[in-house]
Structure 1
Amino acid sequence: MTSRSALSLAALLGVAGVAHLARPRPFDRIVPRSLPGPARVYTYVSGACELALAAGLAHPRTRRGAALAAAGFFVAVFPANVQMAIDWRDATPARRAVAWGRLPLQVPLVWWALRAARR
């Protein structure tokens, strides 16, 4: 894995983290309602995690650990994508396509993170 690929993953996570913190409302809506407490807490925590993962991926010394943590993070947020697909089942076809398209997208993200963990 090239450092460019790991840095690209870091950039993706960094942008996502900033989006969670700057515009949390859309992310609040997809937090599974079965989780205790306010959705906004989960939105902010996931945004902070994304920023921390991005920082870890950016530095060669912390890249492996951050990449493994990123793979776990992508698995952990999968229920939010499922919640989105459920909530948008009666939405327009375009929105349903986005919601359902996010589900299989987690697989290449996990794979990308695991590849970044290799030295």
Structure 2
Amino acid sequence: MGPLYVVAGILHFVVPELYVQIMPPVFPAPLALVYLSGLAEIVVGIGVLIPRTRRYAAWATIALLVAIFPANVYMAISGVVVAGMPGGGAPSTLVRWARLPLQGVLILWAYWYTDGD
């Protein structure tokens, strides 16, 4: 799980415009929030790789997934066409809606790293 979050976090810095597009317009400073969430993903990704910090990082991952959920909802309901996706295409409606229950799966995966506490 850790390397996936590190890579996802790095992508926030490599292609920030991709993430800014799905930021709900009610949130201020979307670019800053994209960078902040990217940094958080890198930190939790590294944290779950270290046994001493794994449990705390897993709880932080759950909090992060809850915090970014509004962006996934906005992407699903707004019909925003996300430009700059790898491969050049925008995610389909099915993919945008599938991200919502995927967040639950990712939360359960992170919870597994808390040792069930």
| Structure 1 match to 2:97 | 100
Determine the C-alpha separation between the residues in 2 that align with 1:89 and 1:61: 41
Indicate the RMSD between aligned Cα atoms, in angstroms: 2.1
Instruction: Rate the CA distance shift 1:90–1:44 in 2: closer, same or farther, 3 A.
Output: closer
Determine the C-alpha separation between the residues in 1 that align with 2:41 and 2:22: 17
CA contact (8 A) 2:23 2:30 kept: yes
CA contact (8 A) 1:53 1:66 kept: yes
Amino acid in structure 2 at the alignment position of 1:18: I
Among candidates 17, 20, 32, match of residue 28 of structure 1: 20
CA contact (8 A) 2:3 2:46 kept: no
| Structure 2 match to 1:4 | none
Percent of paired sites with the same residue = 39
Alignment of structure 1 residues 70-109 onto 2, 5 Å: 70-88=61-79, 95-109=92-106
Query: Number of matched residues?
Result: 110
**What TM-score comes out, normalization by structure 2 length?**
0.86
Instruction: Rate the CA distance shift 1:30–1:90 in 2: closer, same or farther, 3 A.
Output: closer
* Cα distance, 1:87 vs structure 2: 2.2
Q: Which string of whole-angstrom CA distances, capped at 9 and with x for unpartnered residues, describes residues 17-74 of structure 1?
A: 01111111110011111112x2111110000000000111110000000001101111
* Cα distance, 1:12 vs structure 2: 1.2
Are 2:43 and 1:48 equivalent residues in the alignment?
Answer: no
CA contact (8 A) 1:64 1:118 kept: yes
Instruction: Rate the CA distance shift 1:51–1:90 in 2: closer, same or farther, 3 A.
Output: closer
Determine the C-alpha separation between the residues in 2 that align with 1:21 and 1:89: 21
Amino acid in structure 2 at the alignment position of 1:47: G
Structure 1 segments of 4 or more deviating over 6 A? none
* Structure 2 unaligned blocks of 5 or more: 83-90
* Structure 1 unaligned blocks of 5 or more: 1-8
Bigger helix share: 1
CA contact (8 A) 1:88 1:95 kept: no
Are 2:6 and 1:14 equivalent residues in the alignment?
Answer: yes
